[in-house]
Structure 1
Amino acid sequence: MSTTIDARGLSCPQPVLMTLDEIKKGSDTEIVVLVDTDTSKENVARAAQSQGCTVTRIDPDGDGYQLFINRA
């Protein structure tokens, strides 16, 4: 199963905090994060990796990105 976090329109650190909260819940193995800036994309990816997760894909999505994060 996967969880989707829609952080489009939010500025950092909000997308990072939302992602970290979902990682801490530990309910799903995959998290899909939607962001709309390069800064958010980079910060969310770095935060996920710092928690031992793997960013498996980053896909363009309209004016933003979809980050696919898997828990270890």
Structure 2
Amino acid sequence: MSHSQTPSRPLEVPCPRCRTSVQWVEENRFRPFCSERCKLIDLGAWADGTHRIAGEPAMDETEIDEMILRAERGDMGRDD
């Protein structure tokens, strides 16, 4: 039997939330999640900061204002 005649199975991935096996098909409107519940729980974790991408901490407004003032004075290289 040739490769073109082999029926293809949809890709299966684990739900990022509960690890249930999920078929990656267009009919699954929650993919890669298994359900709307898992999708919303994950969204909530991003919203409350539980999930986050590692990197430099964000500056608060005071730090930004101080940086702008230093730049305007021309003393960006000094920390005094």
Q: TM-score, normalised by structure 1?
A: 0.28
Q: TM-score, normalised by structure 2?
A: 0.26
Greater gyration radius:
2
